[in-house]
Protein backbone atom coordinates (compact mmCIF):
# COMPACT_ATOMS: atom_id res chain seq x y z
CA UNK A 1 0.00 0.00 0.00
CA UNK A 2 1.51 3.36 -0.98
CA UNK A 3 1.93 6.23 1.46
CA UNK A 4 -1.12 8.22 0.33
CA UNK A 5 -3.54 5.30 0.51
CA UNK A 6 -2.33 4.47 3.99
CA UNK A 7 -2.67 8.10 5.10
CA UNK A 8 -6.16 8.41 3.61
CA UNK A 9 -7.36 5.48 5.72
CA UNK A 10 -6.40 7.53 8.79
CA UNK A 11 -7.74 10.84 7.50
CA UNK A 12 -11.25 9.89 6.37
CA UNK A 13 -13.83 10.41 9.15
CA UNK A 14 -15.58 7.31 10.50
CA UNK A 15 -19.34 6.78 10.44
CA UNK A 16 -19.65 7.51 14.16
CA UNK A 17 -17.87 10.84 13.64
CA UNK A 18 -20.40 11.85 10.99
CA UNK A 19 -23.22 10.86 13.34
CA UNK A 20 -21.79 12.92 16.19
CA UNK A 21 -21.42 16.00 14.00
CA UNK A 22 -24.91 15.62 12.55
CA UNK A 23 -26.50 15.27 15.99
CA UNK A 24 -24.67 18.29 17.38
CA UNK A 25 -25.56 20.38 14.34
CA UNK A 26 -29.22 19.39 14.61
CA UNK A 27 -29.41 20.34 18.31
CA UNK A 28 -27.76 23.70 17.74
CA UNK A 29 -29.85 24.51 14.66
CA UNK A 30 -33.10 23.72 16.49
CA UNK A 31 -32.16 25.98 19.40
CA UNK A 32 -31.23 28.87 17.08
CA UNK A 33 -34.46 28.51 15.10
CA UNK A 34 -36.41 28.51 18.35
CA UNK A 35 -34.78 31.73 19.57
CA UNK A 36 -35.15 33.43 16.19
CA UNK A 37 -38.82 32.48 15.96
CA UNK A 38 -39.52 33.88 19.44
CA UNK A 39 -37.86 37.13 18.30
CA UNK A 40 -40.07 37.31 15.23
CA UNK A 41 -37.16 36.99 12.79
CA UNK A 42 -37.03 34.38 10.04
CA UNK A 43 -33.56 32.88 9.65
CA UNK A 44 -31.93 30.08 7.70
CA UNK A 45 -29.47 28.00 9.71
CA UNK A 46 -26.77 26.57 7.42
CA UNK A 47 -23.72 24.37 7.75
CA UNK A 48 -20.62 25.76 6.03
CA UNK A 49 -16.89 25.13 5.90
CA UNK A 50 -15.04 21.83 5.55
CA UNK A 51 -17.77 19.70 7.13
CA UNK A 52 -20.35 21.05 4.68
CA UNK A 53 -17.84 20.45 1.87
CA UNK A 54 -17.02 16.97 3.24
CA UNK A 55 -13.31 17.74 3.13
CA UNK A 56 -12.77 17.53 6.90
CA UNK A 57 -10.30 15.22 8.60
CA UNK A 58 -10.95 12.46 11.08
CA UNK A 59 -10.59 13.89 14.56
CA UNK A 60 -11.71 17.39 13.56
CA UNK A 61 -14.50 18.66 15.76
CA UNK A 62 -15.11 22.12 14.30
CA UNK A 63 -18.48 23.23 12.97
CA UNK A 64 -19.10 26.43 11.02
CA UNK A 65 -22.77 27.30 11.44
CA UNK A 66 -23.83 30.38 9.50
CA UNK A 67 -27.18 31.86 10.42
CA UNK A 68 -28.55 33.80 7.46
CA UNK A 69 -30.69 36.83 8.26
CA UNK A 70 -32.94 38.73 5.85
CA UNK A 71 -31.61 41.75 3.96
CA UNK A 72 -34.43 43.81 5.45
CA UNK A 73 -32.21 44.12 8.52
CA UNK A 74 -29.38 46.64 8.62
CA UNK A 75 -25.79 45.67 9.36
CA UNK A 76 -26.14 47.31 12.79
CA UNK A 77 -29.28 45.25 13.48
CA UNK A 78 -27.46 42.08 12.40
CA UNK A 79 -24.63 42.81 14.82
CA UNK A 80 -27.05 43.61 17.64
CA UNK A 81 -30.30 41.63 17.25
CA UNK A 82 -28.83 38.84 15.16
CA UNK A 83 -25.86 38.34 17.46
CA UNK A 84 -28.15 38.42 20.51
CA UNK A 85 -30.25 35.57 19.10
CA UNK A 86 -27.12 33.46 18.73
CA UNK A 87 -25.92 34.42 22.19
CA UNK A 88 -29.24 33.46 23.81
CA UNK A 89 -29.16 30.12 21.97
CA UNK A 90 -25.57 29.52 23.07
CA UNK A 91 -26.43 30.11 26.72
CA UNK A 92 -28.89 27.23 26.59
CA UNK A 93 -26.65 24.92 24.55
CA UNK A 94 -23.67 24.76 26.90
CA UNK A 95 -20.30 26.41 27.42
CA UNK A 96 -19.61 29.31 25.06
CA UNK A 97 -17.13 32.06 24.25
CA UNK A 98 -17.58 35.41 22.54
CA UNK A 99 -15.41 35.88 19.46
CA UNK A 100 -14.78 38.80 17.13
CA UNK A 101 -13.95 39.00 13.42
CA UNK A 102 -15.58 41.46 11.02
CA UNK A 103 -18.46 41.33 13.48
CA UNK A 104 -18.99 39.36 16.71
CA UNK A 105 -19.90 35.68 16.72
CA UNK A 106 -20.29 32.95 19.33
CA UNK A 107 -18.30 29.76 19.83
CA UNK A 108 -20.17 26.96 21.64
CA UNK A 109 -18.97 23.61 22.96
CA UNK A 110 -21.23 20.56 22.92
CA UNK A 111 -20.33 16.86 23.23
CA UNK A 112 -16.69 17.52 22.39
CA UNK A 113 -17.59 19.56 19.30
CA UNK A 114 -16.60 23.21 18.86
CA UNK A 115 -19.13 25.19 16.81
CA UNK A 116 -18.85 28.78 15.59
CA UNK A 117 -22.24 30.50 15.27
CA UNK A 118 -21.83 33.28 12.72
CA UNK A 119 -24.51 35.84 11.78
CA UNK A 120 -24.63 36.69 8.06
CA UNK A 121 -27.02 38.02 5.44
CA UNK A 122 -28.88 35.84 2.97
CA UNK A 123 -27.94 37.51 -0.32
CA UNK A 124 -29.08 36.49 -3.84
CA UNK A 125 -25.57 36.49 -5.36
CA UNK A 126 -21.96 37.21 -4.32
CA UNK A 127 -22.03 40.63 -5.94
CA UNK A 128 -24.50 41.82 -3.30
CA UNK A 129 -22.64 40.85 -0.14
CA UNK A 130 -22.84 43.26 2.80
CA UNK A 131 -20.02 41.68 4.82
CA UNK A 132 -17.28 39.20 3.95
CA UNK A 133 -19.01 36.26 5.66
CA UNK A 134 -22.00 36.59 3.30
CA UNK A 135 -19.77 35.10 0.60
CA UNK A 136 -19.26 31.80 2.46
CA UNK A 137 -22.48 29.97 1.37
CA UNK A 138 -21.47 30.55 -2.25
CA UNK A 139 -18.11 28.91 -1.54
CA UNK A 140 -19.93 25.84 -0.22
CA UNK A 141 -22.16 25.74 -3.29
CA UNK A 142 -19.18 26.05 -5.64
CA UNK A 143 -17.05 23.38 -3.93
CA UNK A 144 -19.88 20.85 -3.70
CA UNK A 145 -20.69 21.42 -7.36
CA UNK A 146 -17.06 21.22 -8.51
CA UNK A 147 -15.32 18.52 -6.44
CA UNK A 148 -16.01 14.81 -6.75
CA UNK A 149 -15.72 12.44 -3.74
CA UNK A 150 -12.29 11.42 -5.08
CA UNK A 151 -11.25 15.09 -5.29
CA UNK A 152 -12.30 15.58 -1.68
CA UNK A 153 -9.96 12.82 -0.57
CA UNK A 154 -7.15 14.66 -2.37
CA UNK A 155 -8.11 17.76 -0.37
CA UNK A 156 -7.74 15.73 2.83
CA UNK A 157 -4.24 14.65 1.84
CA UNK A 158 -3.17 18.18 0.97
CA UNK A 159 -4.65 19.64 4.16
CA UNK A 160 -2.86 17.14 6.36
CA UNK A 161 0.42 17.64 4.48
CA UNK A 162 0.12 21.41 4.89
CA UNK A 163 -0.72 21.09 8.59
CA UNK A 164 2.34 18.93 9.18
CA UNK A 165 4.77 21.34 7.54
CA UNK A 166 3.07 24.34 9.20
CA UNK A 167 1.51 26.17 6.24
CA UNK A 168 -2.21 25.48 6.76
CA UNK A 169 -4.43 28.29 8.03
CA UNK A 170 -4.99 31.80 6.71
CA UNK A 171 -5.06 33.43 10.15
CA UNK A 172 -2.19 35.76 11.12
CA UNK A 173 -0.75 33.08 13.38
CA UNK A 174 0.25 31.06 10.30
CA UNK A 175 -0.23 33.30 7.22
CA UNK A 176 -0.85 30.16 5.23
CA UNK A 177 -3.41 28.51 2.96
CA UNK A 178 -7.07 28.50 3.97
CA UNK A 179 -9.21 25.39 3.63
CA UNK A 180 -10.95 27.00 0.66
CA UNK A 181 -7.58 27.71 -1.00
CA UNK A 182 -6.66 24.02 -0.62
CA UNK A 183 -9.97 23.02 -2.20
CA UNK A 184 -9.40 25.38 -5.13
CA UNK A 185 -5.94 23.93 -5.70
CA UNK A 186 -7.49 20.47 -5.98
CA UNK A 187 -10.24 21.82 -8.24
CA UNK A 188 -7.50 23.18 -10.50
CA UNK A 189 -4.96 20.33 -10.50
CA UNK A 190 -7.14 17.36 -9.43
CA UNK A 191 -4.59 15.43 -7.38
CA UNK A 192 -2.33 15.84 -4.37
CA UNK A 193 0.70 14.67 -6.36
CA UNK A 194 0.00 16.99 -9.28
CA UNK A 195 -0.25 19.98 -6.92
CA UNK A 196 3.11 19.12 -5.37
CA UNK A 197 4.67 18.68 -8.80
CA UNK A 198 3.41 22.10 -9.83
CA UNK A 199 4.46 23.73 -6.54
CA UNK A 200 7.97 22.26 -6.69
CA UNK A 201 8.58 24.35 -9.83
CA UNK A 202 6.84 27.56 -8.79
CA UNK A 203 8.59 30.89 -9.19
CA UNK A 204 7.41 33.85 -7.14
CA UNK A 205 5.06 35.64 -7.72
CA UNK A 206 2.76 32.77 -8.62
CA UNK A 207 -0.49 33.13 -10.56
CA UNK A 208 -3.02 30.28 -10.58
CA UNK A 209 -5.97 30.67 -12.93
CA UNK A 210 -9.17 29.35 -11.33
CA UNK A 211 -11.46 31.26 -13.69
CA UNK A 212 -13.13 30.49 -16.99
CA UNK A 213 -13.57 32.72 -20.02
CA UNK A 214 -11.27 35.55 -18.93
CA UNK A 215 -8.30 37.24 -20.55
CA UNK A 216 -5.87 35.87 -17.97
CA UNK A 217 -3.01 38.26 -18.74
CA UNK A 218 -5.28 41.27 -18.30
CA UNK A 219 -6.82 39.79 -15.16
CA UNK A 220 -3.41 39.11 -13.62
CA UNK A 221 -2.63 42.82 -13.87
CA UNK A 222 -5.88 43.67 -12.08
CA UNK A 223 -5.04 41.28 -9.25
CA UNK A 224 -1.52 42.66 -9.00
CA UNK A 225 -2.84 46.23 -8.74
CA UNK A 226 -5.32 45.26 -6.02
CA UNK A 227 -2.86 43.08 -4.07
CA UNK A 228 0.60 44.56 -4.77
CA UNK A 229 2.24 42.77 -1.84
CA UNK A 230 0.96 39.25 -2.50
CA UNK A 231 3.37 36.44 -3.37
CA UNK A 232 0.74 34.09 -4.76
CA UNK A 233 -2.45 34.96 -6.62
CA UNK A 234 -5.48 32.67 -6.90
CA UNK A 235 -8.77 34.40 -7.72
CA UNK A 236 -11.98 33.34 -6.02
CA UNK A 237 -14.34 31.86 -8.65
CA UNK A 238 -17.22 33.20 -6.57
CA UNK A 239 -15.77 36.74 -6.36
CA UNK A 240 -13.03 36.95 -9.03
CA UNK A 241 -11.24 40.12 -7.88
CA UNK A 242 -10.65 38.59 -4.45
CA UNK A 243 -7.30 36.86 -4.02
CA UNK A 244 -7.94 33.74 -1.92
CA UNK A 245 -4.23 33.45 -1.09
CA UNK A 246 -3.64 37.11 -0.21
CA UNK A 247 -2.61 36.23 3.37
CA UNK A 248 0.06 33.70 2.38
CA UNK A 249 3.49 34.96 3.46
CA UNK A 250 6.76 34.52 1.60
CA UNK A 251 8.07 32.23 4.35
CA UNK A 252 4.95 30.04 4.29
CA UNK A 253 4.97 29.81 0.50
CA UNK A 254 8.68 28.97 0.47
CA UNK A 255 8.07 26.26 3.07
CA UNK A 256 5.34 24.71 0.91
CA UNK A 257 7.53 24.76 -2.21
CA UNK A 258 10.42 23.07 -0.39
CA UNK A 259 8.07 20.63 1.35
CA UNK A 260 6.61 19.63 -2.02
CA UNK A 261 10.08 18.93 -3.42
CA UNK A 262 11.10 16.97 -0.36
CA UNK A 263 7.99 14.78 -0.41
CA UNK A 264 8.32 14.02 -4.12
CA UNK A 265 11.97 13.19 -3.54
CA UNK A 266 11.23 10.86 -0.62
CA UNK A 267 7.52 10.13 0.03
CA UNK A 268 7.02 9.26 3.67
CA UNK A 269 4.27 9.10 6.25
CA UNK A 270 6.41 11.52 8.28
CA UNK A 271 5.02 14.32 6.08
CA UNK A 272 1.59 13.61 7.57
CA UNK A 273 2.65 13.24 11.18
CA UNK A 274 3.04 16.56 12.97
CA UNK A 275 4.81 15.31 16.09
CA UNK A 276 7.66 17.57 17.26
CA UNK A 277 11.12 16.10 17.62
CA UNK A 278 11.38 14.13 20.87
CA UNK A 279 13.87 16.04 22.97
CA UNK A 280 13.93 16.98 26.65
CA UNK A 281 13.82 20.60 27.75
CA UNK A 282 17.22 20.13 29.39
CA UNK A 283 18.59 19.20 25.96
CA UNK A 284 16.86 22.17 24.31
CA UNK A 285 18.49 24.54 26.79
CA UNK A 286 21.88 22.86 26.28
CA UNK A 287 21.57 23.63 22.56
CA UNK A 288 21.29 27.33 23.48
CA UNK A 289 24.32 27.39 25.79
CA UNK A 290 26.82 28.94 23.37
CA UNK A 291 24.23 30.91 21.42
CA UNK A 292 22.45 34.20 22.05
CA UNK A 293 18.76 33.32 22.45
CA UNK A 294 16.68 36.05 24.10
CA UNK A 295 13.05 35.81 25.20
CA UNK A 296 10.57 38.66 25.68
CA UNK A 297 7.58 37.59 27.77
CA UNK A 298 4.22 39.41 27.87
CA UNK A 299 1.82 38.57 30.68
CA UNK A 300 -1.71 39.10 29.35
CA UNK A 301 -4.61 39.94 31.65
CA UNK A 302 -7.25 40.77 29.01
CA UNK A 303 -6.01 39.62 25.59
CA UNK A 304 -7.66 40.92 22.41
CA UNK A 305 -9.12 38.51 19.79
CA UNK A 306 -6.47 36.04 18.51
CA UNK A 307 -5.93 37.62 15.08
CA UNK A 308 -5.49 41.04 16.69
CA UNK A 309 -3.07 39.64 19.27
CA UNK A 310 -0.96 37.76 16.70
CA UNK A 311 -0.88 40.84 14.47
CA UNK A 312 0.32 43.06 17.30
CA UNK A 313 2.95 40.54 18.40
CA UNK A 314 4.29 40.33 14.86
CA UNK A 315 4.46 44.14 14.68
CA UNK A 316 6.47 44.22 17.91
CA UNK A 317 8.73 41.46 16.57
CA UNK A 318 9.42 43.52 13.43
CA UNK A 319 10.04 46.65 15.51
CA UNK A 320 12.45 44.81 17.80
CA UNK A 321 14.44 43.28 14.94
CA UNK A 322 14.74 46.63 13.15
CA UNK A 323 15.78 48.50 16.30
CA UNK A 324 18.40 45.93 17.26
CA UNK A 325 19.84 45.64 13.76
CA UNK A 326 20.14 49.44 13.64
CA UNK A 327 22.14 49.26 16.86
CA UNK A 328 24.55 46.65 15.45
CA UNK A 329 23.02 43.59 17.10
CA UNK A 330 22.84 41.16 14.20
CA UNK A 331 19.50 39.34 14.51
CA UNK A 332 19.67 36.01 12.70
CA UNK A 333 16.17 34.72 13.49
CA UNK A 334 13.02 35.64 15.38
CA UNK A 335 9.57 34.23 16.11
CA UNK A 336 6.43 34.82 18.16
CA UNK A 337 4.02 32.53 20.00
CA UNK A 338 1.04 32.93 22.32
CA UNK A 339 -1.43 30.60 23.96
CA UNK A 340 -4.00 33.36 23.24
CA UNK A 341 -5.01 33.30 26.92
CA UNK A 342 -2.54 34.72 29.41
CA UNK A 343 0.95 34.83 27.93
CA UNK A 344 2.87 35.69 24.76
CA UNK A 345 6.53 35.33 23.83
CA UNK A 346 8.92 36.76 21.27
CA UNK A 347 12.20 34.88 20.86
CA UNK A 348 15.28 36.22 19.09
CA UNK A 349 18.60 34.76 18.09
CA UNK A 350 21.46 37.23 17.69
CA UNK A 351 25.00 36.56 16.56
CA UNK A 352 26.25 38.03 19.85
CA UNK A 353 24.56 39.00 23.11
CA UNK A 354 27.17 41.70 23.75
CA UNK A 355 28.73 43.91 21.10
CA UNK A 356 31.92 46.02 21.44
CA UNK A 357 31.69 48.80 24.00
CA UNK A 358 32.83 51.36 21.42
CA UNK A 359 31.24 52.01 18.05
CA UNK A 360 33.46 52.89 15.09
CA UNK A 361 32.25 55.71 12.84
CA UNK A 362 33.85 55.96 9.40
CA UNK A 363 33.60 59.34 7.68
CA UNK A 364 34.56 60.78 4.28
CA UNK A 365 38.02 61.31 2.86
CA UNK A 366 39.52 64.64 3.89
CA UNK A 367 39.47 65.73 0.25
CA UNK A 368 35.67 66.08 0.51
CA UNK A 369 35.91 69.37 2.33
CA UNK A 370 32.35 70.12 3.53
CA UNK A 371 31.54 66.55 4.58
CA UNK A 372 34.87 66.06 6.35
CA UNK A 373 34.46 69.33 8.26
CA UNK A 374 30.93 68.30 9.23
CA UNK A 375 32.20 64.91 10.44
CA UNK A 376 34.91 66.52 12.58
CA UNK A 377 32.39 68.91 14.11
CA UNK A 378 29.86 66.15 14.81
CA UNK A 379 32.38 63.71 16.34
CA UNK A 380 34.74 66.09 18.12
CA UNK A 381 33.23 65.26 21.52
CA UNK A 382 33.59 61.48 21.09
CA UNK A 383 35.87 59.59 23.44
CA UNK A 384 38.45 58.88 20.72
CA UNK A 385 39.19 60.69 17.47
CA UNK A 386 38.57 61.92 14.92
CA UNK A 387 41.67 60.52 13.26
CA UNK A 388 42.67 59.76 9.69
CA UNK A 389 42.87 56.13 8.65
CA UNK A 390 45.28 54.65 6.13
CA UNK A 391 42.57 54.90 3.47
CA UNK A 392 42.39 58.67 3.98
CA UNK A 393 38.99 58.51 5.65
CA UNK A 394 38.14 60.14 8.98
CA UNK A 395 37.35 57.82 11.88
CA UNK A 396 36.00 58.17 15.39
CA UNK A 397 35.11 55.95 18.37
CA UNK A 398 32.12 56.65 20.57
CA UNK A 399 31.15 54.71 23.66
CA UNK A 400 27.78 53.00 23.26
CA UNK A 401 25.08 53.68 25.80
CA UNK A 402 24.14 49.99 25.75
CA UNK A 403 26.13 47.05 24.47
CA UNK A 404 24.16 44.19 26.06
CA UNK A 405 21.20 42.96 24.02
CA UNK A 406 19.15 42.27 27.16
CA UNK A 407 19.80 45.79 28.49
CA UNK A 408 18.98 47.28 25.09
CA UNK A 409 15.64 45.47 24.95
CA UNK A 410 14.75 46.71 28.41
CA UNK A 411 15.73 50.30 27.62
CA UNK A 412 14.07 50.42 24.20
CA UNK A 413 10.71 48.94 25.26
CA UNK A 414 8.86 52.24 24.75
CA UNK A 415 10.13 52.39 21.16
CA UNK A 416 9.20 48.88 19.99
CA UNK A 417 6.17 48.31 22.21
CA UNK A 418 3.80 50.46 20.13
CA UNK A 419 0.67 48.31 19.37
CA UNK A 420 -2.28 49.40 21.56
CA UNK A 421 -2.98 46.16 23.47
CA UNK A 422 0.69 45.49 24.21
CA UNK A 423 1.80 49.07 24.86
CA UNK A 424 0.69 49.10 28.53
CA UNK A 425 2.59 45.86 29.22
CA UNK A 426 6.29 45.94 30.04
CA UNK A 427 7.79 42.69 28.80
CA UNK A 428 10.25 40.76 30.89
CA UNK A 429 13.51 40.14 29.00
CA UNK A 430 16.05 37.40 29.61
CA UNK A 431 18.40 34.95 27.93
CA UNK A 432 16.77 31.57 27.35
CA UNK A 433 17.31 29.43 30.44
CA UNK A 434 15.74 26.31 31.95
CA UNK A 435 13.09 28.09 34.00
CA UNK A 436 11.71 30.15 31.09
CA UNK A 437 11.90 27.10 28.78
CA UNK A 438 9.89 25.00 31.25
CA UNK A 439 7.35 27.79 31.54
CA UNK A 440 6.94 27.98 27.73
CA UNK A 441 6.37 24.22 27.63
CA UNK A 442 3.85 24.39 30.47
CA UNK A 443 1.91 27.07 28.55
CA UNK A 444 1.76 24.87 25.42
CA UNK A 445 4.69 26.17 23.37
CA UNK A 446 6.91 23.06 23.32
CA UNK A 447 6.79 22.46 19.55
CA UNK A 448 7.39 26.16 18.82
CA UNK A 449 10.38 26.37 21.15
CA UNK A 450 11.97 23.13 19.92
CA UNK A 451 11.64 24.11 16.27
CA UNK A 452 13.11 27.57 16.90
CA UNK A 453 16.09 26.26 18.87
CA UNK A 454 16.91 23.25 16.68
CA UNK A 455 16.18 25.13 13.42
CA UNK A 456 15.13 22.02 11.51
CA UNK A 457 11.54 20.70 11.45
CA UNK A 458 11.33 16.90 11.57
CA UNK A 459 10.00 16.63 7.99
CA UNK A 460 13.06 18.41 6.58
CA UNK A 461 15.22 15.42 7.48
CA UNK A 462 13.57 13.74 4.47
CA UNK A 463 14.81 16.40 2.06
CA UNK A 464 18.11 14.66 1.43
CA UNK A 465 16.56 11.31 0.57
3-state secondary structure 305-347: CHHHHHHHHHHHHHHHHHHHHHCCCCEEEEEEEECCCCEEEEE
| Binding-site sequence positions for Mg(2+) | 62, 64, 116
| Binding-site sequence positions | 50, 62, 64, 116, 139, 159, 168
Q: What angle do CA 157, 136, 243 make, to 5 degrees?
A: 75
Query: Cβ distance 455 to 347 under 8 Å?
Result: no
3-state secondary structure 364-426: EECCCHHHHHHHHHHHCCCCEEEEECCCCEEEEEEECCCCEHHHHHHHCHHHHCCCCCCCCCC
d(CA 334, CA 323): 13
Query: Cβ distance 67 to 119 under 8 Å?
Result: yes
Q: Which of 84, 268, 249 is nearest to 176 (CA)?
A: 249
Q: How far is CA 133 from the centre of its chain?
A: 19
Q: Report how far apart, in Å, the C-alpha atoms of 185 and of each of 190, 243, 408 are.
A: 8, 13, 46
DSSP string, 238-300: TEEEEETTTT--HHHHHHHHHHHHHHHHS--GGGG--PPP---HHHHHHHTTTSEEEEEEEE-
What DSSP state is assigned to residue 161?
H
Query: Cβ distance 465 to 266 under 8 Å?
Result: yes
| Binding-site sequence positions for CTP | 50, 139, 159, 168
Query: Cβ distance 7 to 47 under 8 Å?
Result: no
Buried b (16+ CB within 10 A) or exposed e, 329-343: bebeebbbbbebeeb
Amino acid sequence: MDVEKKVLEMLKPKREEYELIENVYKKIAEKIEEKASSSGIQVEVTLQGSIAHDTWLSGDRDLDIFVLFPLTMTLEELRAKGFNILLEAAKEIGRYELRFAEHPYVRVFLNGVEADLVPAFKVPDPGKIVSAVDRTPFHTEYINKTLTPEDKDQVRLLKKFMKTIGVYGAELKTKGFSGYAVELLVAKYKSFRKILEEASNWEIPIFINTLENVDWEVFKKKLRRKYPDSVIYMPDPVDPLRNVTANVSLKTLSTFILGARCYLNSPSIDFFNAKPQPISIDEVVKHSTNRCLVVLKYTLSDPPPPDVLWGELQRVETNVVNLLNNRDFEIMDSSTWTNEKDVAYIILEASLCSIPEYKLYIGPRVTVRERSESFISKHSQNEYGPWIGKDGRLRSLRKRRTYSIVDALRELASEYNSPPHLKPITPSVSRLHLEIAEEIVEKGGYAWLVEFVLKKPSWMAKCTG
